[in-house]
Each structure stands twice: as structure tokens, then as C-alpha cells.
């Protein structure tokens, strides 16, 4: 089975080609240029230099979120566009899960974190054990302080990875001695992890059609509070009018 | 904090042009002031100071206008953007750290802006006179 996976969920952009578990090729750029200009040349170069016809791709995979609003839309729209005319299935991969699959063989907790701004992060926790990756939490948005509280329950080594990892690491060093910041070559999301996650999803019958593929956004706690306050205010106003 | 009095839109523009010379390329500039205070005039001067040749107009309908000069300039108008969800779906956070962001009607989203920013407050004194308060920028 050949999987073409892409990631545009944050600042880097990457594309990977996986064939029956083997990585045939991966292109990665972490420059300021917008993904709308870099993604398709990368995909095209990856296919042509590996001698792969796009018609031979069995599954199109994408990090569908969480992530930057524009980045996620570019990734999801591009995969829809490639999969739809070929009528091929898609894998809607969690960016945070893809990060966990990018980790080298190790035992412990993977804490995938993406910077969501305003001291909040997108996060999910995974346990790596004997080469298996087990999900411990849903993808969620929470404050860095809340995450620190939660991590203090774990006595195992916690691998902090993702573009929010350094931000958290700076705040965790005093209170969480078992937290390790992953090295930069594996810290940021790579399409390789997306492809590995997609392979697992294919085995579990969790693929979708190109029409079903959707971006996934998580609302931040701060936004949730603000929305509640605004709805309450509107309701009060309505009450007064009556 | 610096305070200035300008006596015409042209003077507001030229003040902004001087402030533009102190920028390093990734600043966020939040503007506060009533309708007709001169926020767009200020942005026009700022853009000129950064070498933008295009005409600058208020992005009330487009939400954001992008200009390219010495640095990219992202000109936002938050008049109709009043919640976190609105703000997120403009792609606002994707623009951060990639250029100079100039934000009109910052009042609407001030709770979601990073602390590290420049505040420009423009107050009507009379028909043509404005008091412009600049916080967080280098001295000019």
C-alpha cells in the first residue's frame, strides 16, 4: 500500500511517501514562505524523483488539525483535490498523533504540544510501550499551567515534542524533572508521522472519502469563556426586553 | 509613552512615517480611536515609511489588506470582528511574526492580543486636531 502524506499544520511544510511501511521519500521545508506556494512543488518533486505516478497512490493522508487556521485549510483542500479525481480514500490524521508517531523507539509518555497563542496549547498525551503507541487523551486545547498539573501525575519520562514544546519546557524545568525536550530533528511535525498514523487508520478501517475529509479545529478555553460570557450577556438583554 | 498633537491628516501621516522608521519588521501595532479619528491616515503614513507604494485604504470589507515594502505589512480592520472565533477565522494568528501588523478597531479584540505590542491611541481634540499617544514603540 502506497501512502502520500502531507503536513501544513504549522510553520513547516512536508510531504512523505510510504510504501508498505517503508519510507520511500520525504521532503521538508521550514521557511517563512506560505504553504500555498511550497506544498505542490514539494509533492510534485517527491512523486517525480521517486518515480511514482500519482495514480499509484492508495491513500492520501493529511494532518487535518489542530493547527494554524490557514495551514490546515491548505493541507485539507490540497488532499481533497488530489484524492477526488482519482476516487481514492483519505486519512484525516490528528496533527498531535502524527507527532507521536514521529518519535523514535522509546518507552514513556509523548506529550505533543502546539503553540495556540495566549499561553494556551493544543495537546494530546500518548504512551509508548514496546513499540506500541497508545492514546491517553483526546486532542484538546488547554492552558500551559493546566498541562503542567496533569503531567505531574506521571512518573515515567515525558517527551515534550511539537512547536509548543520549547515554550512549555521553559515553564516546566523547575516543577517537572522527568520532562525531556525532544531534539529539533524530530520535534516539529513531519509528514512521515502522518503517513504512519494513516497506515494504522487504514488497517483499522478508519479512512474516509475525499468529500468526508474535514479540517479539525479546537476552540481554546479562553475563546470558550468569552463565548459563554457573550451568550449570557445577550440572554440578559433579551430578558430585559421582555 | 510618547504624546503628540497633530493639526492635519498630513501631520498624522508624517508622524506615522517617523514611527515606521523605528520598526524592526515583526511588530504588532494596535490602534484605538473613534470613527474618523485618523487611523487609516496613520496607517497610510506608516506604510509609506516602510516603503509601500500601493494605495492604503481601510480593509473594512476585506478584513485584511497585505502590502509589501521593506517588510510585509498586514493591515487589519476589526470593526466587524468581535469574538475569538471571528478573529481566529480571519487567519489573524497565522500572520503573527511574519511582518508588521497594523490593527484598526483593536478595541474589539484587545483581550486576545499579545502583551508585547505597540498601542496607538488617537483622540479627537477638534475638527483637525488630534492627540496621538504611542506606547511600546522606540522614541522618535
Q: Residue A223: which of B85, B91, B96 has the nearest Cβ? A: B85
pLDDT for res A76: 98
Residues 30-89 of B with CB under 8 A from A: 83-85, 88-89
**CATH assignment, A103-187:** 3.30.420.40
Top residue of A67, A69, A221 to mutate, by most chain B CBs within 10 Å, is: A69
- What is the assigned CATH class of domain B2-135? alpha beta
Alpha-carbon distance B78 to A176, whole Å?
Answer: 40
pLDDT tens column, A149-187:
999 999 999 999 999 999 999 888 777 889 999 998 889
Q: Residue B84: which of A68, A70, A226 has the nearest Cβ? A: A226
Do residue A118 and residue B94 have CB atoms under 8 angstroms apart?
A: no
Q: How far is CA B23 from CA A55, A175, B28, B30, B139, in A?
A: 50, 37, 10, 14, 11
pLDDT for res A241: 55
pLDDT tens column, A37-46:
999 999 999 9
When pLDDT is averaged across residues A6-25 and rounded to a whole number, the result is: 96
SS (H, E, C) A189-214: CCHHHHHHHHHHHHHCCCCECCCCCC
Do residue A69 and residue B98 have CB atoms under 8 angstroms apart?
A: no
Count of C-beta atoms within a 10 Å radius of residue B112 = 20
Count of C-beta atoms within a 10 Å radius of residue B66 = 13
CATH 3.30.420.40 region(s) of chain A? Answer: 2-96+189-221, 103-187
φ and ψ of A61, to 5 deg: -120, 150
Alpha-carbon distance B106 to B119, whole Å?
Answer: 9
Domain definitions of chain B by residue range: 2-135
Neighboring chain B residues of A219 at a CB cutoff of 8 Å: 84-85
pLDDT tens column, A109-159:
999 999 988 788 999 999 999 889 999 999 999 999 999 999 999 999 999
Q: What Rg, from alpha-carbon coordinates, does chain A have?
A: 19
Q: Residue A227: which of B83, B94, B98 has the nearest Cβ? A: B83
Band (A239; pLDDT cuts 50, 70, 90): low
Smallest CA–CA distance from B96 into chain A, residue? A117
pLDDT for res A8: 97
Percent of chain A residues topping a pLDDT of 90: 76
Do residue B88 and residue A32 have CB atoms under 8 angstroms apart?
A: no
pLDDT tens column, B11-60:
999 999 999 999 999 999 999 998 888 899 999 999 999 999 888 888 88
Q: Contact at 8 Å (CB) between A197 and A46?
A: no
pLDDT for res B37: 87
pLDDT tens column, A55-78:
999 999 999 999 999 999 999 999
- Calculated CA dihedral for residues A64, A66, A70, A73, nearest 10 degrees: 20
pLDDT for res A78: 98
Smallest CA–CA distance from A118 into chain B, residue? B114
pLDDT for res A240: 61
The CATH architecture to which A2-96+189-221 belongs is 2-Layer Sandwich (3.30)
A69: closest CA of chain B, how far (Å): 6
Computed over every residue of chain B, the mean pLDDT equals: 93
Alpha-carbon distance A1 to B4, whole Å?
Answer: 67
Top residue of A31, A36, A67, A68 to mutate, by most chain B CBs within 10 Å, is: A68
pLDDT for res A137: 97
pLDDT tens column, B80-104:
998 888 898 888 988 988 899 999 9
Neighboring chain B residues of A231 at a CB cutoff of 8 Å: none
Decide if the complex's ipTM is over 0.90. Answer: no
Amino acid at each position: 500500500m502506497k501512502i502520500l502524506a502531507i503536513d501544513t499544520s504549522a510553520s513547516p511544510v512536508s510531504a512523505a511517501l510510504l510504501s508498505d511501511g517503508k519510507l520511500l521519500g520525504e521532503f521538508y521545508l521550514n521557511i517563512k514562505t506560505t504553504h500555498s506556494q511550497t506544498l505542490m512543488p514539494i509533492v510534485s518533486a517527491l512523486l517525480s524523483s521517486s518515480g511514482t505516478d500519482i495514480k499509484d497512490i492508495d491513500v492520501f493522508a493529511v494532518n487535518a488539525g489542530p493547527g494554524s487556521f490557514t495551514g490546515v485549510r491548505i493541507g485539507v483542500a490540497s488532499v481533497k483535490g488530489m484524492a477526488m479525481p482519482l476516487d481514492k480514500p483519505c486519512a484525516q490524521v490528528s496533527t498531535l498523533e502524527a507527532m507521536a508517531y514521529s518519535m523514535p523507539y522509546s518507552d514513556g509518555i509523548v506529550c505533543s504540544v502546539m503553540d495556540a497563542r495566549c499561553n494556551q496549547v493544543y495537546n494530546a498525551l500518548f504512551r509508548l510501550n514496546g513499540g506500541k503507541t497508545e492514546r491517553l487523551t483526546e486532542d484538546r486545547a488547554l492552558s500551559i499551567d493546566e498541562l503542567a498539573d496533569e503531567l505531574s501525575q506521571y512518573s515515567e519520562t515525558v517527551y515534550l515534542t511539537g512547536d509548543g514544546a520549547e515554550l512549555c519546557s521553559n515553564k516546566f524545568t523547575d516543577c517537572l524533572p522527568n520532562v525531556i525536550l525532544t531534539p529539533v530533528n524530530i520535534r516539529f511535525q513531519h509528514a512521515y508521522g502522518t503517513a504512519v498514523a494513516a497506515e494504522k487508520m487504514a488497517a483499522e478501517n478508519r479512512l474516509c472519502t475525499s468529500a468526508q475529509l474535514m479540517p479539525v479545529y479546537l476552540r481554546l478555553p479562553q475563546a470558550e469563556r468569552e463565548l459563554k460570557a457573550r451568550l449570557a450577556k445577550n440572554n440578559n438583554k433579551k430578558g430585559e426586553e421582555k | 509613552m510618547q504624546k503628540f498633537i497633530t493639526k492635519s491628516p498630513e501631520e498624522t501621516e508624517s508622524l506615522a512615517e517617523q514611527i515606521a522608521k523605528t520598526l524592526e519588521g515583526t511588530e504588532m501595532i494596535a490602534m484605538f480611536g473613534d470613527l474618523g479619528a485618523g487611523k487609516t491616515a496613520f496607517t497610510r503614513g506608516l506604510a509609506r515609511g516602510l516603503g509601500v507604494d500601493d494605495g492604503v485604504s481601510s480593509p473594512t470589507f476585506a478584513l485584511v489588506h497585505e502590502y509589501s515594502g521593506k517588510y510585509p505589512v498586514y493591515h487589519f480592520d476589526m470593526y466587524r470582528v468581535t469574538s475569538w472565533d471571528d478573529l481566529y477565522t480571519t487567519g489573524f494568528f497565522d500572520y503573527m511574526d511574519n511582518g508588521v501588523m497594523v490593527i484598526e478597531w483593536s478595541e474589539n479584540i484587545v483581550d486576545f492580543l499579545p502583551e508585547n505590542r505597540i498601542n496607538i491611541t488617537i483622540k479627537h481634540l477638534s475638527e483637525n486636531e488630534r492627540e496621538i499617544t504611542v506606547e511600546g514603540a522606540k522614541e522618535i
